[in-house]
Structure 1
Amino acid sequence: MLRSARDNNIDLSLLDQMTTALESSGDVMYEWDLATDSLMWLGRAASLFGLEDNLIPATGETYHNRINPEDLPARMRNLTDHFAGEAYYDCEYRIRDGSGNFQWVHDRGAVDVSTTGAPTRLTGVLRPVTVKKQAEARLEYLASYDELSGHFNKLRLRESLDFSLEQAIRYSNVGAFLAVGVDHLGMINTAYGFEAGDSVLVEVGERLDKSIRGADIVGRLGGDRFGVIMSVASHEEADTIADRILQTVRETPFEINDERIYVTVSVGFVDFPEQTKTSFDAFAKAESALLDAKSNGRDCVKPYELTVEQCENYRTSMIIGEEVKLALKEDRIALAYQPIVDSETHELVLVEALLRMFDRDGQIVPAGRFIPVVEQLGMMRVIDRRVLELALEDLARYPNITMSLNISGLTASDRSWLRALSSRVKSRPDIAKRLIVEITETAALHDLEESARFVSAVRQLGCKVAIDDFGAGYTTFRHLKTLTVDIIKIDGSFIAGILDNEENQIFVRNLLGLAKALNHTTIAEFVETAEEAEFLSREGIDLLQGFYFGQPEIKPDWLTNNAEAEGTIVFPK
């Protein structure tokens, strides 16, 4: 087109308009004559390449010489596939500019073919995307690394620890997780400024690298704390490394604002898999031991220790854990459903799926009897995966119900669970729009950025997200804006006996104002009387849940008899 317009003097005004548009956008259009290997450019090609006009590549060969050798094979494969009619021509690669630096471009085009089907001319557009690629690289970096210290961030550290735990259990190894805290960092920030405090953290991270073994992993837990994974290490070896960390930090002063100050750290550690089997639990126990070290005068090491009572509880937990594994194998895991109704009409709006287990005699075991143990033993991923399967099966079976599903804080950071959800609902938007995923407020606030990513991913699939037990933590207006959930479930402790508790009434009113401002749906749990239901309805709560409207039941009649019918499902009170 470029050649024909110029050679035949056809519609040059249109060509001028195109040139203006390209120059405004920064894009560059090209025409590559495959028979003569000649290239023609339209737009600011000189600016794109950082070259004088007479040095701009005039042939395909000279252009290829400017493409990064690592990217050229992929571009050639894309061209070959496109010429064969097997793919669109659309790729990204780096070209060398006049300064010798590589810049990213997005190349998209289409080939013209002769009457015999042979490719004759490729017309395409180059778009500069270096800024976009740099932003993507930065986001990818921040997804795994701490911006300040350059070590693994908390999410990546947790993933690495989960892997080490799995390997330790599989191969009967022992290891340790260390929590390292900088002593009196707050005083350093106050006396010298936060930049000085940050430089201390960076230097402590570097000294940690020098203190550990080559196979050990360092990451930043946040604030003044680092974590160290020793995948294979006895209790004695972990204690030795912890002492070495103390010595390495304390023996050389830190340079701050032309002053030399001495800094110390405290260390707490937990052995695995004997004392812990999940990263969440390991973090908590190591940091608990770290607090003991700080309480013991700082600049010391404290291992996590189990009391006699804790040892006995642990043995009991192991027995319960084995029973849960057997129940999963024998298909004795089930869902009980509790109705959630409209606050004014009391019509059934959705149901909450609650986990139950049958024992060997066929009796129902409430979740509260085994879920805490399952969480402690690191089995929640398996349980949550099974619950997801059961919930999706019932959503497909009952096309008129909407269901909310609780997941653990551990699963909220489990990408494999998200992938399982995605694979099941991507092709079934009718199911996705009827599924609500509930995460607890405390789990959401444990790692706000990670929770926000999880919420966004679930909502992109077409599902809704609810915050459960709202009010149990310390959620602020900013937190709610960051999480962008759809539903807020008020913690039942604020609903039980609300008619006689003025403070709870004030809390609920304030929460409703916040929820309405953010356009969130609200649910009140633990509603047990008609008077409570009437009061909450007057206050503006959208939905109600509690024993007054029905207890959790496995395959309740009101669900199975009505869920397949057309229209609104009405729960008979």
Structure 2
Amino acid sequence: MIEGKVNKGSSHLVQFAEEELRAIQESTFDAIFTCSLDGVLTGIWPGAARRNSHLDGLLGCSLNDVVHPEDLETVKAFISKVKRLGTVRPGPECRLRQLDGSWRWYSVNASLVCGVDGEPLYVAGVARDLSEQKETEKHLKHLATHDYLTGIPNRYYFDGALSRARRLAKEGTVSSLLLIDVDKFNLVNDLLDHDMGDRLLTNLSRLLKSQIRRDDVLARLSGDEFGLLLHGMAEAEAEKVALNLCHIVKERDLCPVLEGCDLRFTVSIGVAEINGHQDVRQVLSRAGAALHMAKMAGRSQVVVAYANERMFSRLEETSRLIQIVRGADREGRFQLFFMPVVRSSDGAVEHYEALLRLRDGDGKLIPPATFIPVAESFGLMGDIERWVVAEAVRFLVKNPQLRLYVNLSGESLGDKEILNFIEEIVQTTPAIHGRLGFEITETAAVRDLMSAEQWVQKLRSLGCRFALDDFGSGYSSFAYLNKLPVDFIKIDGSFVRSIDHDPERHALVKGINQLVHSLGKRTISEYVENDRIWRLIREMGIEYGQGYYLGEPSPLPQDMASESTELDPRQGIKRR
């Protein structure tokens, strides 16, 4: 009787325990499992809505067959620890094989189950599916280390790659760093739009990535600057890679826009070897200096930061020029030279172009092609052009019959302070009204078309005139000409200098002149170097000429106002 009651009570307890276990199983999204002491899965309960039903097929399998080989030793150590301690929480994260052969991540907690006599029977635990969490973590990590636009690594990722490359270099495996910058990238954003700029960067990243090895690292470091880490490659081989990349980019149309509008882009590249002797910051600095020199040398150039006298001597020369330029206005080493622009109809001087000259500490002239690029690169053109404008105004006041045109750099077109300076000096000097003009290059105007248009409109309203310099040397689209209300278009001298013996150049200059006239503007021909060119210029109907044949740059005489003008009967040129 007592025994029956006991049996009946035991039966209720077992039933209650089973119901309790079922309730737990249905309320949790985690899988519950049991595992024999020798590592065989003896029971699997997938959990609510059978979310982990893909584990059903693992029943009866050994851990050796279920756990990812890379995680197996960790899991076996965990089971041993459970046997020894009874309960281990939290347990390891591991990958378990699925029925389709794929792998999913789980976190595991487990306890040892013992009989009434304390003898270990089996291990019971809970497995939580971490796959979605792992995918989220992977996605967030990718966002943190990759560029949102191009999908390639970003600066943060690249810095880590450079640090690893330096450690390998200290062990004897050198690598090389390439800094890659798009030439004239602002042209896309200013002339077209930012979406087209994004398209160019995306296309460029794909092209660069297609040309490198699997182990190399390409990253977008900033707006239009990319970094390329070439693993195990010394500077000599890296230079060949850089030259090849320059060639491929130059030949590829990365930004097709309008039919008949060829906007092919190029890149400049600085190369530095990672040999373990310098830290990451120093390597980046050397590569940056090389890139800067590549851009100064022109488009589509490669410069290697060789760790020898050649590299350091160029850096020292750049530093010397910077010091000379910075003190030139205070020390009186700037000087204006003047080159005449001559009318083709009667040989009279229409106006003079004011050309800047610089003397070093010994009084020797430094060519503009040497110091102007340095001044532009290091933000010194603003002060230089203030001096030039002020000096030109002084000459105009002193010589009321004179008309002068001053060159403005591309750096000044977006500088409101320089515009305000010129506005003020023109407004407060009424004697120069209508006699001061400015020349802006075609490439600078196109690069920042909006700023250039505002510049021209504002200063024209104050009586200043404008000429577009070096026309034809930059880009083959003429659409922007209508937006720039300039008075003169100067045909680039590289076309003009050979028209006396090159029929194609002759036809090209003639066509440019007709196009400019159709837009209601006048033309000036540069590089008039002999009588034959001057005759052809006049036959084409080009209104003005400039060149060494018509007058070389020279200091303006103080008594210029009193000089007589004589006609040279041989050439029809009035010479002063």
Question: How high is the TM-score relative to the length of structure 1?
Answer: 0.47
State which structure, 1 or 2, has the greater radius of gyration over its C-alpha atoms: 2
Question: How high is the TM-score relative to the length of structure 2?
Answer: 0.47
